[in-house]
């Protein structure tokens, strides 16, 4: 696949994005599971070339090819097997229900995954739900709210505008959408003049990636990277008033609650800062420059760390087989220096990860493997994982990226 650089900002449609980070030949999907190592190693690759918009502060993969994306039921990115994540999801659902009185309402979730959160908010608030996602499978929704949920196995578009919810949710989907302004505008147009409709989006915060040099959070599926400022500017540009803008999940996730604005005279200019969390474009540019100056050194440090651990004896284990793991291993070229990959999701066990080709093992596998070091791909899970390996009788040094 050749590189085509799209230098028009997909968020504000201004020309001239500035390239600042590049990784070649990364898997175009990192959450598709494969039945064989050969299939995983031969999976198609693409390029990442991140560009920064000097007008609105948005970050985008300018080399992204929309034609290679396939979010089928084989796409497995569930985090619901983690008690830490489940506690967060329940807290978030409770917050939305209480703050906006989401009870007995119609809830539409765009990009609902396997339907876990939609099921939760319908159960907790006695709501009715519609989940739109090509990877969703109704048979995996088994709770008491199941009969109040409709699944549409499709990509969201204008043809779904008749699903007129009192609440529109979109969690961890916008970062997978290249044409971000067109997508958010489609949501706004579908709402029309229903001014009481609540819209709530959740995405990763690129500020963390840039500040902490988290290069393993940069992978092909994530073609769009928002900070609080760039996200707020997009929503105002598309005709929304921002009700809340905040961080959660160890400040990794950025959340925005908004409602539609009907009259042009009521709109606030996109560049006007209306929330204290918003950073200016200049501040975002400074973060990009800092990332650019430090990322090569950080990559070298991790290569040396993993190779040192491998050279001491048994190769290190990675815990977490999702996108962070795939990006970490393929960006650094460390497949041969990782002993095995562990995941708590039973639907991943026995499958192989794209690019690196490692078979995914269950935590119980460590009883026989006896690792010396476990690298946790998300620090928020470190305590949970440490407790689990202790319960398994496994003694290992647990570190996190």
Per-residue pLDDT of 29-77, as tens digits, reads 888 888 999 999 999 999 999 999 999 999 999 999 988 776 555 555 6
C-alpha distance across the termini of the chain, in Å: 31
- Which residue is associated with the tokens 């540009």? 237
| Phi/psi at 193 (5° precision) | -100, 20
| pLDDT of 172 strictly over 50 | yes
Residues 331 and 234 in one domain: no
Model pLDDT, residue 2: 39
Name the least confident of 135-139, 197-201, 345-349. 135-139
Cα dihedral across residues 3, 15, 280, 169: positive or negative = negative
Total structural domains within the chain: 2
Across the beta sheet with 18-27, the strand order is 18-27, 45-52, 59-61, 224-225
CATH code, domain with 70:
3.40.50.150
Which one of 268, 290, 305 terminates a domain?
305
Residues 274 and 314 in one domain: no
Dist CA 68 CA 33 (whole Å): 16
| pLDDT of 111 strictly over 60 | yes
Distances (CA, A) of 337 to 174, 181, 307: 34, 41, 6
Residues 299 and 318 in one domain: no
**Average pLDDT value for residue range 159-184:** 95
Model pLDDT, residue 286: 98
How confident is residue 312, by pLDDT bands cut at 50, 70 and 90? confident
**Average pLDDT value for residue range 293-320:** 92
Model pLDDT, residue 70: 65
Compare 397 and 68 and report the one with higher pLDDT.
Answer: 397
**Which structural domain range is residue 116 located in?**
1-305
Residues above pLDDT 70, as percent of the chain: 96
Residues 168 and 299 in one domain: yes
Helix (H, G, I), strand (E, B) or coil at 135: coil
Residues 237 and 356 in one domain: no
- Which residue is associated with the tokens 């709770």? 143
- Per-residue pLDDT tens for 319-371? 999 999 999 999 999 888 999 999 999 989 999 999 999 999 999 999 999 99
Model pLDDT, residue 269: 82
Model pLDDT, residue 190: 96
Model pLDDT, residue 1: 35
Model pLDDT, residue 6: 73
Model pLDDT, residue 359: 95
Residues 330 and 368 in one domain: yes
- Per-residue pLDDT tens for 246-299? 999 999 999 999 999 987 666 888 878 788 999 999 999 999 999 999 999 999
| pLDDT of 311 strictly over 80 | no
**Average pLDDT value for residue range 201-228:** 97
| Phi/psi at 77 (5° precision) | -125, 25
Dist CA 243 CA 201 (whole Å): 12
How confident is residue 238, by pLDDT bands cut at 50, 70 and 90? very high
Residues 16 and 128 in one domain: yes
| pLDDT of 25 strictly over 50 | yes
Residues 328 and 368 in one domain: yes
Which one of 261, 279, 305 terminates a domain?
305
Residues 299 and 352 in one domain: no
Residues 166 and 276 in one domain: yes
| pLDDT of 3 strictly over 50 | no
Average pLDDT of the chain to the nearest whole number: 92
Residues 131 and 187 in one domain: yes
Which one of 276, 305, 334 terminates a domain?
305
Q: Which of 166, 125, 170, 114 is nearest to 148 (CA)?
A: 125
Name the least confident of 83-92, 114-123, 136-145. 136-145
């Amino acid at each position: 696949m050749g590189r085509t650089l799209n230098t028009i900002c997909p968020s504000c449609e201004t020309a001239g994005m500035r390239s600042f980070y590049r990784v070649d030949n990364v898997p175009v999907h990192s959450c598709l599971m494969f039945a064989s190592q050969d299939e995983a190693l031969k999976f198609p690759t693409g390029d990442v070339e991140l560009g920064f918009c000097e007008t609105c502060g948005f970050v985008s993969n300018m080399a992204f090819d929309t034609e290679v994306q396939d979010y089928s039921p084989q796409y497995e990115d569930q985090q619901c097997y983690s008690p830490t994540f489940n506690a967060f999801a329940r807290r978030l659902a409770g917050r939305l229900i209480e703050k906006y009185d989401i009870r007995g309402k119609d809830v539409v979730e765009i990009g609902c995954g396997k339907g876990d959160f939609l099921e939760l908010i319908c159960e907790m608030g006695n709501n009715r739900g519609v989940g739109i996602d090509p990877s969703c499978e109704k048979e995996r929704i088994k709770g008491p709210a199941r009969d109040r949920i409709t699944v549409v196995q499709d990509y969201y578009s204008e043809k779904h505008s008749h699903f007129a919810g009192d609440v529109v949710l979109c969690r961890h989907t916008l970062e997978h959408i290249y044409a971000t302004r067109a997508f958010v505008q489609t949501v706004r147009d579908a709402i029309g003049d229903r001014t009481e409709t609540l819209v709530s989006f959740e995405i990763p915060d690129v500020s963390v990636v840039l500040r902490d040099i988290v290069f393993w959070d940069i992978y092909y599926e994530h073609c769009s990277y928002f900070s609080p400022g760039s996200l707020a500017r997009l929503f105002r540009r598309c005709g929304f008033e921002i009700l809340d803008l905040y961080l959660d999940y160890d400040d990794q996730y950025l959340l925005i609650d908004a409602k539609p604005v009907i009259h042009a005279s009521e709109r606030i200019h996109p560049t006007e800062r209306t929330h204290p969390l918003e950073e200016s474009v200049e501040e975002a540019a400074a973060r990009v420059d800092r990332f650019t100056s430090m990322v090569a050194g950080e990559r070298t440090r991790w290569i040396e760390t993993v190779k040192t651990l491998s050279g001491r004896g048994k190769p290190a284990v990675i815990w977490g087989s999702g996108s962070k793991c795939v990006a970490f291993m393929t960006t650094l070229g460390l497949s041969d220096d990782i002993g095995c990959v562990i995941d708590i999701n039973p639907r991943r066990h026995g499958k192989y990860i794209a690019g690196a080709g490692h078979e995914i093992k269950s935590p119980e596998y460590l009883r026989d493997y006896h690792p010396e070091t476990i690298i946790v791909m998300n620090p928020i899970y470190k305590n949970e994982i440490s407790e689990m390996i202790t319960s398994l009788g496994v003694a290992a040094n647990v570190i996190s990226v």
